[in-house]
Structure 1
């Protein structure tokens, strides 16, 4: 189930836990670089769109190159602006 921002705020205010269905193959790898990129995008591993962001990044191994990291910053800024 996907919750919109208003629903999330209401459920959090009521102290409810939001559950979501984890589809097979939608697990995030345990990678410090991925965690840092999600933080830079204003998200956490528990964010609804964290897996979609991970898929949009492509090969994490390729992002270890300094030039690739610099090219990624505009995308991360755009994601952060959408996060609120």
Structure 2
């Protein structure tokens, strides 16, 4: 784990080491707490982690037709 002390310039910028940018990317998330600021890398989500987490009930009938019939009945 690395640690560095950096100065903030007059325009509010901090320069992160090149090795860190190569490893973590060029976008970060800043989180402000009462006693500190945390800088976290912004990562693209791994979409494969979300596969198969929702179970869907298989419907054999034409759901759209059934819904339209129900809606038509409400307006009669």
TM-score interval w.r.t. the shorter chain? under 0.3
More helix by share: 1
With the length of structure 2 as denominator, give the TM-score of the two structures: 0.27
Higher RCO structure, 1 or 2 (CA under 8 Å, sep 6+): 1
More strand by share: 2
With the length of structure 1 as denominator, give the TM-score of the two structures: 0.26
Q: Which of structures 1 and 2 has the bigger CA Rg?
A: 2
